[in-house]
Amino acid sequence: MVTIEAVLGDITTQQVDAIVNAANSQLLGGGGVDGAIHAAAGPELLEACRRVRGTTHRDGLAVGDAVATTAGDLPARWVIHTVGPNRHRGQTDPALLASCFTRSLEVAREVGARSIAFPAVSAGIYGWDAAEVAQVAVEAVRADLAGRDEIELVRFVLFSPALLAAFETALAPGG
């Protein structure tokens, strides 16, 4: 049975197999969650991202896609990078946002992760409403995990009380 939960906290300190990075398509670090993860992971993460860019994703990572790297100095074993849709650039299709969560779960299974922590992908600088992100994320994760048992824990790690409240509402029965 899978546990799906939401907590207030710092995704870089989570004791899980994989954390999800709300990355930019270049995979070379940035601001927000991406910058925090790169800062906490140290230079090994940037080198791992450069290897991905030099091999399988020469043109960058597409919106809604995901790829795994090692995690450097983080307590997690892997970082799964996903590129969320940017509402300010007209990327308003909820299916693109849902894909960030489902592709990240697929990649987690590929690397053998049993526990995964997600941020609120696209809820920050990319302009998506917190409640919408929470609803799309929770629905996508629940649908993806239905009838499967490879992943035991999905934790949404939120950096503000407002984001936590949005995810708690989405996770509530009938939410």
Radius of gyration from C-alpha coordinates of the chain: 15
- 144 an active-site residue? no
- HEC secondary structure over the chain: CCEEEEEECCHHHCCCCEEEEEECCCCCCCCHHHHHHHHHHCHHHHHHHHHHHHCCCCCCCCECCEEEEECCCCCCCEEEEEECCCHHHCCCCHHHHHHHHHHHHHHHHHHCCCEEEECCCCCCCCCCCHHHHHHHHHHHHHHHHCCCCCCCEEEEEECCHHHHHHHHHHHCCCC
Question: What are the backbone angles phi and psi of residue 46, rounded to the nearest 5°?
Answer: -60, -40
Catalytic residue among 34, 73, 93, 144: 34
Give the residue numbers marked as catalytic.
Answer: 34
